[in-house]
Structure 1
């Protein structure tokens, strides 16, 4: 493979020097048959048996001689007095392709099937057609099954994908990873089996390391593919101090939040809980009794073991359990602002739940209106959190 890459690098550099916009190679039908057989012997699936393509994806690399045999090309060159060079390495049995060319294929054609080369080529053509059918189906399904989040990280709808035939599901997974890494990672059959099991039968929170520094993570009904994150240091997440009414900004896990605090007169009949979403930007608001709260307040990411006294319920509940009940993915939890009072008690998990602390009542005289606005960062236009 290294020699092949070196040859193509030289050819492309030569083409660029001569201002050529196409590169034509001399691959012929015998090369095609050998390629199909090599891939078959190396354990390739049907998708890998498509062989050599006449034109690559860029349209710049073409192979116009694939329909002709080596003997036909040599005869044409002799009749027309066209000189050509024979690579001496083509005679060495050190390489698998040469052993197939000089020994195995002639032996099979002599003893078992004179049309063996032709049959290999037909197999390659049928495999290429089947692969194109899968590609067309993949393009139809991609938008309905895959969401692209931060940094174009894909999230696959597991229940919908699980309904697909296995061969299409495997192709979907392979192509998604291939596209996400710009062709840098091609999943092997063994890895595909593991990812498929995670998609079909995995439980939320399960993770699977993939080649190329990637990780697949099952998050409730979604399977996300992304880069591995550095392990946490164990330090408590930072939080900001809110000394009084006004605006402040906090960035959590790549999301930028604008928090505003405003004191208003209390109006009878005002809802304690208010949810609003405008266009592509998420806006969440909560109202608290100003006289029951003391500044400074604090805002930051959630902390392990932290609890909340949910509004309308008795007792307290761990935030982790709350996230599980609300089906908030692990990757999203550190991006949600948590508002705390001056004692560090949780008042509000933005867009998820509010506390009974600081609740308004008929005796209230002033309201602390807290608004959280999620601003687009690195491709994000909002978050999918449902308020209660």
Structure 2
């Protein structure tokens, strides 16, 4: 244990570093009435004496324990008034809310509590919400997650700070033990309430604190310190891996409508730790990420992406989302429509065509003289203007489409060209074809151009078409 109030000086120094303690600052202190949050409230009031800032005390009365809950609300109100601080409270009516919705009691209480706290923050234009979570809470959280099964992110425990919408949650006491906070309250005459439900072993956290932790401390008297240290190390590792995952997401993942596309070869080159996190990051974009982020779920997706056979597969991954693996391409996102049909008329006065169905674009340029595409650039094609018959069409494929590919004798089915190029089946209907006024397929962007309207030394005017996977 640190010397008396040394840790308080650390909190004040950290507050300056974190930027929430200054004269223009407005913070919401979530105060339940227990020793931890009441100690936090006293510390904040003493900080305001050194450097004034706005403190709003917010108390959520869950109404789980009747008169006891009401007494806690009155205790917090009176202490806030004694300290000369603004006070806001709300009766959440949790018993009736849980009966109506059937939601788990602890989940429902957290949901309604944070809804209230965000409202208070909005009312006072506060950017920071401070809570009284302490070191014992951290140790218990890590042990609970270990018991239930968790990854590195879970071992990081309760974060010291995090963003929730426009509000930043900060837990200034996270490295201070419960014992130190009780001593602080005693030395400074800080009143507090004792929640009778804290001895109810029906709640998992209480069972861990009252039974499991003391039993394990017989084998390691410094178990809490060990768990807190584990959380610190795991938190640092997790933060680093999150940065690497964001980088991999930007480099390896392509937005596709409301979903995402991955090139399987590049995905396989990543370390398996990044592969799992990348899948989780994508699933986190779904409407119900908690439902989607089950370990077995992630492993099933990972296996489908890594295995060599079958080369084409589809998984229903829940919440209306699918994984579609086709050759070396994979799509994760909302289920795709069965087919897409589009046709756009291109006139000589246009300079671009936006394909609304796919979010892609084909640009047009009329150039004087001879002009050819750069070698190896399959995203653009040049044609002799005098040999093109307008109106040109940009459309999706049709049954029986044929093409006379440049460099080959005779015609070939567009369908066969898609198969040879390993274009995913789900992508084929969305692929734009450039077709002339006679219905001849002139170009399949990224795959092949036809032998029609070739640019030669005698060409007087050239039409250049450039394909972009996103609108410019």
Q: Same fold (TM over 0.5)?
A: yes
Contact 2:381 2:449 in 1 (8 A): no
Aligned to 1:380: 471
TM normalised by structure 1 equals: 0.74
Residue 65 of structure 1: SS of its match in structure 2? coil
The 1:372–1:204 alpha-carbon spacing in structure 2 relative to 1, beyond 3 Å, is: farther
In the alignment, which of 54, 71, 80 is matched to residue 179 of structure 2? Answer: 71
Contact 1:339 1:349 in 2 (8 A): no
Shift, 1:6, TM fit: 1.5
Shift, 1:189, TM fit: 1.3
Shift, 1:288, TM fit: 8.2
Residue 338 of structure 2: SS of its match in structure 1? coil
Q: 1:124-273 alignment to 2 at 5 Å?
A: 124-139=231-246, 141-143=248-250, 145-149=251-255, 154-178=260-284, 180=285, 184=289, 187-201=293-307, 205-218=312-325, 220-232=327-339, 237-239=341-343, 247=350, 249=353, 251=355, 252-257=357-362
- 2:225 equivalent to 1:118: yes
Rounded to whole Å, the distance in 2 between the matches of 1:38 and 1:184 is 21
Residue 210 of structure 1: SS of its match in structure 2? strand
Rounded to whole Å, the distance in 2 between the matches of 1:137 and 1:161 is 14
In the alignment, which of 395, 398, 419 is matched to residue 300 of structure 1? Answer: 395
1:33-78 CA-to-partner distances (Å, cap 9, x unmatched) read 1111111122212331110111114682111112222232223213
Cα RMSD, aligned residues only: 4.1
Rounded to whole Å, the distance in 2 between the matches of 1:163 and 1:366 is 46
Question: Unmatched 5+ residue regions in structure 2?
Answer: 1-106
TM normalised by structure 2 equals: 0.62
Question: Unmatched 5+ residue regions in structure 1?
Answer: 382-388
The 1:27–1:314 alpha-carbon spacing in structure 2 relative to 1, beyond 3 Å, is: same
The 1:302–1:25 alpha-carbon spacing in structure 2 relative to 1, beyond 3 Å, is: same
Aligned to 1:385: none
In the alignment, which of 414, 417, 422 is matched to residue 319 of structure 1? Answer: 414
- 2:447 equivalent to 1:352: yes
The 1:327–1:368 alpha-carbon spacing in structure 2 relative to 1, beyond 3 Å, is: farther
- 2:435 equivalent to 1:339: yes
In the alignment, which of 75, 91, 94 is matched to residue 199 of structure 2? Answer: 91
Rounded to whole Å, the distance in 2 between the matches of 1:287 and 1:328 is 28
Rounded to whole Å, the distance in 1 between the matches of 2:427 and 2:374 is 20
Rounded to whole Å, the distance in 1 between the matches of 2:122 and 2:459 is 74
The 1:172–1:360 alpha-carbon spacing in structure 2 relative to 1, beyond 3 Å, is: closer
Aligned to 2:25: none
Contact 1:158 1:199 in 2 (8 A): yes
The 1:133–1:157 alpha-carbon spacing in structure 2 relative to 1, beyond 3 Å, is: same
In the alignment, which of 355, 368, 373 is matched to residue 275 of structure 1? Answer: 373
1:268-291 CA-to-partner distances (Å, cap 9, x unmatched) read xx89xx4369x9xx643234884x
- Of residues 315-324 and 325-334 in structure 1, the stretch that sits farther from structure 2 once superposed is 325-334
Q: RCO (CA 8 Å, sep 6+): is it higher in 1 or 2?
A: 1
Contact 1:25 1:64 in 2 (8 A): yes
Rounded to whole Å, the distance in 2 between the matches of 1:286 and 1:198 is 42
Aligned to 1:17: 123
The 1:367–1:316 alpha-carbon spacing in structure 2 relative to 1, beyond 3 Å, is: farther
Aligned to 1:384: none
